[in-house]
């Protein structure tokens, strides 16, 4: 009886976390697409890079990293990164590229 209750609770928690991750991924993709359009770049792909506790500057904060590939002229490919704090976009790291 108690074991079934914990199993249901665990499954519910897993489903909620999965749903929130999907929602964050969709927000990140839209944010990256808008940034690429603003910079007149072509978005190639977006991928979840992982969750971390420590930021690149050494501060402790839970965040999610998304890696994306973009092209500036159509025949080249560069990799950028977006850091998300929950459902809010944090910082972009876009390397120098040809114009």
Round to whole Å and give the CA distance between 69 and 52. Answer: 21
Residues 6+ apart with CB under 8 A from 12: none
Is the pTM here over 0.85, yes or no? Answer: no
Average pLDDT, the chain: 90
Weakly modelled stretches of the chain, pLDDT under 70: none
CA angle 53, 57, 62 (to 5 degrees): 20
Following DSSP, what letter does each residue of 22-49 receive, concatenated?
HHHHHHHHHHHHHHHHHTT-EEEEEEEE
């Amino acid at each position: 009886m108690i074991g079934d209750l914990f199993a249901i609770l665990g499954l519910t928690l897993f489903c909620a976390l999965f749903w929130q991750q999907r929602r964050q991924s969709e927000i990140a993709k839209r944010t990256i697409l808008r940034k690429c359009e603003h910079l007149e770049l072509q978005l190639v792909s977006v991928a979840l890079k992982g969750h971390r506790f420590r930021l690149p500057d050494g501060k402790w904060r839970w965040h999610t990293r998304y890696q994306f590939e973009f092209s500036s002229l159509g025949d080249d490919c560069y990799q950028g990164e977006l850091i998300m704090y929950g459902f809010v976009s944090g910082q972009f790291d876009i390397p120098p590229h040809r114009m």
